[in-house]
């Protein structure tokens, strides 16, 4: 049986990998890179992966990661350096598979002529789900493979909702066995992950510490709601401005009134709400839905 752990730069997936390593041993740690990740997410990925695999911390490699520009600072210029970092990380940790389609989310939107939103995420479909499916089909035999994800028991419905929905049943229908150890007895929470990180002397992801619900795509996830974006505007205004411009460019490119966010004020009918409009509402002191955090759900959707 091959044991493959999906790692994403998040605490849950890192802790899940540790649980699997402790119980079965890991054949591969699999990371699907969107090329849009926060620099610190790459730091966390490397530190936690090397620790789990029992390898020495790659100090010189981490020093290179820390010098990597953020996605919004040098979107394309950092890619060659990131490719070198990925190659070196895999050379030092052969069990780590760092894969990428070579495109970022906004390139997917433009290629497919569709702007990702809370309902439809072509970025996750192509940069995560399809990419991982192809890798698994090439490298694994379904009957002899288990693929693990870092979903904890507080969101177990994402893995199996008990009605045939969720990642587990969907993948099983395709012939693949997926597992979520944090959803199984004795059950584990993100607090357990934090305790494990403290014991490993690994700093938590900075986006998590900054109050974001996940550590993916540099806070730019198309599934993030009004509350998520309001927090992004307060915490990382330069990243918000970057996303706002890309959204405006995409609207011009498509020639359509589209947006990642949704407005339900007034008659309750769903209407587009652009990042520009949301920012102007916030700056004017108007009410926005701060409880609309949304959720990454990356890799989970069908």
The reported pTM is 0.95
Tell me how many degrees the CA angle 116-176-187 measures, rounded to the nearest 5.
Answer: 85
How far is the CA of 68 from the CAs of 20, 37, 86, 237, in angstroms? 31, 11, 12, 19
CA distance 111 to 253: 11
pLDDT in tens, 36-67: 999 999 999 999 999 999 999 999 999 999 99
pLDDT of residue 95: 98
CA distance 5 to 14: 9
pLDDT of residue 99: 98
Q: 302 pLDDT exceeds 50?
A: no
Report yes or no: 12 and 190 within 8 Å, Cβ to Cβ. yes
Convert 104-170 into a string of H (helix), E (strand) and C (coil).
CHHHHHHHHCCCCCCCCCHHHHHHHHHHHHHHHHHHCCHHHEEEECCCCHHHHHHCCCCCCCCHHHH
Pick the CATH number of 2-209 from 3.40.50.620, 3.50.50.60, 3.90.1170.50, 3.40.50.2000: 3.40.50.620
pLDDT in tens, 171-217: 999 999 999 999 999 999 889 999 999 999 999 999 999 999 889 99
CA distance 296 to 302: 14
pLDDT in tens, 273-299: 999 999 999 999 998 888 787 765 565
Mean pLDDT, to the nearest integer, of 15-19?
A: 97
For the chain, domain boundaries: 2-209, 217-283
């Amino acid at each position: 049986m091959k044991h493959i752990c999906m790692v994403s730069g998040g605490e849950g997936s890192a802790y899940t990998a540790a649980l699997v390593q402790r119980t079965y041993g890991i054949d591969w740690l699999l990371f699907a890179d969107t090329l849009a990740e926060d620099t610190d997410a790459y730091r966390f990925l490397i530190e936690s992966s090397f620790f789990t695999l029992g390898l020495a911390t790659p100090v010189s490699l981490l020093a290179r990661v820390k010098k990597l520009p953020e996605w919004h600072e040098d979107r394309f210029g950092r890619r060659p350096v990131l490719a070198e970092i990925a190659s070196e990380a895999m050379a030092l940790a052969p069990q780590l598979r760092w894969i990428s389609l070579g495109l970022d989310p906004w390139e997917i939107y433009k290629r497919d002529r569709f702007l990702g939103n809370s309902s439809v995420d072509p970025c996750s479909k192509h940069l995560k789900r399809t990419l991982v499916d192809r890798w698994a089909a090439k490298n694994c035999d379904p009957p002899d493979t288990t693929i693990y994800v870092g979903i904890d028991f507080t969101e177990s419905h994402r893995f199996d909702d008990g009605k045939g929905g969720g990642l587990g049943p969907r993948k099983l229908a395709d012939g693949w066995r997926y597992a979520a150890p944090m959803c199984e007895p004795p059950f584990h929470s993100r607090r357990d992950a934090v305790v494990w990180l403290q014991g490993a002397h690994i700093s938590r992801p900075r986006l998590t510490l900054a109050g974001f619900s996940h550590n993916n795509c540099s806070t730019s996830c198309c599934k993030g709601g009004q509350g998520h974006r309001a927090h992004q505007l307060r915490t990382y205004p330069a990243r918000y401005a970057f996303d706002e411009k890309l959204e405006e460019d995409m609207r011009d490119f498509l020639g359509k009134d589209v947006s990642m966010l949704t407005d339900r004020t007034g008659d309750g009918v769903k209407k587009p709400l652009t990042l520009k409009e949301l920012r102007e509402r916030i700056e004017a002191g108007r009410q926005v839905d701060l409880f609309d955090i949304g959720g990454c759900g990356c890799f989970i959707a069908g």
